[in-house]
A and B are shown apart, each in its own frame.
Chain A
């Protein structure tokens, strides 16, 4: 009799232990799955200072602002103005380039023109800066092709492209073509 009771007790003990371990396994696997699914959306937002040259919706050309990649959107903010954004999924290509531009704007142009004995030309020789250009091709809701061009500090465009591609943007078929062409131009210019 006592043997039977002991066997019953042992069996229930093992069943309880099995159920407990199964429950723990289920909990662990569900936590793992949740963490995996939550990982892409939990990426930290990426922000960088940029100049919008043209093409972004509801944004003035040649204006400075912050280019932000957050969740599934690429945003451009100009101070207090409402931000413009496109969905990263709509991006069809991200291309990089390099440009050398004169610095100082219109005021510097006037100053250089007014400088006597061709002094302005000498200033122009040194008053140029290299920039990266970031070209983003994207489609609107109707499937229409758009293109936006941003100007960033030298060496920053690559990080933006990497971030965009990591979040699902298509890098484009002919990536780095422009970079090669513009690099050739820059090296030619430096001679």
Chain B
């Protein structure tokens, strides 16, 4: 009886060890995150500039909300060593700095009430041109990104979706992780619909 119990314990321990091994192995062999700061790849820092409304009459609340949401979403990606705000004096001491410039291209101010009543009209749509530029003025990434709110949520929710899409675009860009951001990426990224609420 005693020996069977001991065998059972040994078997269970062996199963647990075998189950734990692959995950441990994978964690050991997986490449380190770019934010870890080791390896030969250059670690870039990012400075987010304020949103340029261009010729579009965009409310200041939208500009500020997009800017703040961008900072939050870009910090979440862990793609950059530091994410600086515009005007931050610490950014001038950083060796590898990219500057994110965002210019508004299109803006359709929707209505939450119309969305709630009709569901097919009243969407708030925001489309911007996002450019990653080096200190020397070289454009590393140039994309058009959109953010919408179609069903639920306030109009400001579109800025959150937009910021999330910009961060996703930057994260998926092939320019990062390489020694030098030499490749210029140009393209268009379209946003999904909002289902949350701000």
Contacts and interface: CB of A to CB of B under 8 A. Distances in A.
Chain B binds chain A = yes
Interface of A: 53-55, 61-62, 93, 95, 97, 99-102, 106, 109, 112, 121, 124-125, 128, 133, 135, 137, 139-140, 142-149, 172, 174, 177-178, 180-182, 185, 188-189
B69 to A, nearest CB: 7
Interface of B: 50, 57-61, 63-65, 67-69, 84-90, 109, 111-114, 116-118, 152, 154-156, 197-198
Contact of B68 (A54, A106, A143, A180): A54
A102 B68 contact: no
A55 B109 CA distance: 22
Contacts, number: 103
27 contacts: A53-B156, A54-B68, A95-B59, A99-B61, A99-B154, A101-B154, A102-B112, A124-B113, A124-B116, A125-B113, A128-B112, A133-B61, A140-B85, A140-B88, A142-B89, A142-B90, A144-B84, A144-B86, A145-B85, A149-B65, A174-B60, A177-B59, A177-B60, A178-B59, A182-B59, A182-B109, A188-B111
A112 B114 CA distance: 14
B152 A147 contact: no
A189 B113 contact: yes
A100 B64 contact: no
A54 B65 contact: yes
B197 to A, nearest CB: 7
B50 to A, nearest CB: 6
Given A54-B65, A144-B84, A97 B89 contact: no
B87 A95 contact: no
A88 to B, nearest CB: 18
A174 B155 CA distance: 21
A49 to B, nearest CB: 19
B49 to A, nearest CB: 9
Contacts of B60: 93, 95, 97, 135, 137, 172, 174, 177-178
Contacts of B89: 142-143
A77 B155 CA distance: 26
A81 B60 CA distance: 29
Contacts of A109: 152, 197
Give the one of B59, B88, B112 with max A CB within 10 A: B59
